[in-house]
Structure 1
């Protein structure tokens, strides 16, 4: 009995996943920009604009702007990490042509494509949040220095340490996912080993 073909991943699902990824990155960067703007404006100016910022119109505009920012930050992070990505790719694929050929072979298996898309989804979030972590750390430190808060030194040290750890953690996660993805792609698209032909049994020796 023949097995039914596996369904291909829905393009709608893939598009929705990418939209969510971009939005997650964009919201993080927009939050950092908001904290930075609040730190620059100061407490008095923030109190004046706070009522307008809480309206539904402002929330809708912020969501749309966050998505646009997500696209920009994703491309910026990909460009910034391109040298490290190329070094990781060379470990599994010596040439760009070999990598392109492997990608074509991967497209022939919908199940493997779905797994690769899931890995790329995590990869995009991690690389975007490398930049987000840097911005959020700088913006938070500036805001803590501008606003009257208790235990400022302790809060500054805590925010800085947590921000550095987050940036390093996202970068290491991106690096691990990228290296693993290249390694798996090389294994999954490698030519199958040729079977060794079985040797015919030796004829039995007849005793005189």
Structure 2
């Protein structure tokens, strides 16, 4: 009995997921830019600009800008991680042509495509937040140094340690997801082992 064809993943769902991924990365980077701008402007100017930043028009513009920033940061993070990504891919695929052929074969299985898309979704967020963690750490440290806060040195040290741990954690997560994705792709698209042809039975010697 033939198995019914599996439904293909909805393009609307895939597009929505990608929009959310880009927005998550962009909002993080925009938050870092906002903290950095507040640190540069100082307490007085930030207090004057705060009412304008809370208007619906500013919120809509910030959302649109965050999406555009998300695209930019995703591309920048992908470019920054090109060398380690190629080294990881070389562990599972000897050539770029072999990898491209595996991607084509994967596209024939909707179930495997859906799993690969989910892995790539997590991968994009992790690699984008490597850069976001760096920016947020630097911006927050600058803001703490610029504003009058108690225990400034302790707070700066705490934020720096947490920021470094976050950046390293996101990078290691990206590394693990990328390695696993290449390994699974190689296994899922590996050619089946060819059966060994059966040998004819050896003739039984005649007794004299």
Whether these two folds match at TM > 0.5 is yes
Match of 1:135 in 2: 135
The reply to whether residue 169 of structure 1 matches residue 169 of structure 2 is yes
Deviation at 1:196, TM superposition (A): 3.6
Name stretches of at least 5 consecutive residues in structure 1 with no aligned partner. none
Name the counterpart of 1:53.
53
* Equivalent runs, 1:115-130 vs 2, <5 Å: 115-130=115-130
Displacement of 1:160: 0.1
Q: What residue number does 2:76 align with?
A: 76
Query: How far apart are residue 198 of structure 1 and its match?
Result: 5.6
Measure the CA separation in 2 of the matches of 1:200 and 1:56.
82
Alignment correspondent of 1:91: 91
Aligned residue for 1:92, secondary structure, equals coil
**Partners of 1:118 and 1:195 in 2: CA distance:** 35
What residue is the counterpart of 1:106 in the other structure?
A: 106
Query: Using the alignment, how far apart are the partners of 2:198 and 2:137 within structure 1?
Result: 65
Cα distance in 2 between the residues matched to 1:201 and 1:16: 62
**TM-superposed deviation, 1:165:** 0.2
Report the counterpart of residue 180 of structure 1 in structure 2: 180
Distance 1:171 1:3 in 2: 40
Partner of 1:14: 14
Corresponding residue pairs, total: 208
- CA shift for structure 1 position 2: 2.8
How many angstroms does 1:204 deviate by? 10
Deviation track 1:89-132 (CA, whole Å, cap 9, x = no partner) reads: 11111111111111111111111111000000000000000000
Structure 1 runs of 4+ off > 3 angstroms? 196-205
- Deviations 1:62-110 (CA, angstroms, capped at 9, x unpaired): 0000000000000000000001100111111111111111111111111
Q: Aligned partners of 1:203 and 1:95: how far apart in 2?
A: 47
Q: Structure 1 residue 194: deviation in Å? A: 1.6
Tell me the TM-score normalized by structure 1: 0.95
> Which residues in structure 2 correspond to 1:15-30 (within 5 Å)?
15-30=15-30
Task: For residue 4 of structure 1, report the CA deviation from its aligned partner.
Answer: 1.5
Deviation of 1:203 after TM superposition, in Å, equals: 9.6
Q: TM-score, normalised by structure 2?
A: 0.95
Distance 1:189 1:159 in 2: 45
Structure-2 separation of matches of 1:125 and 1:80? 14
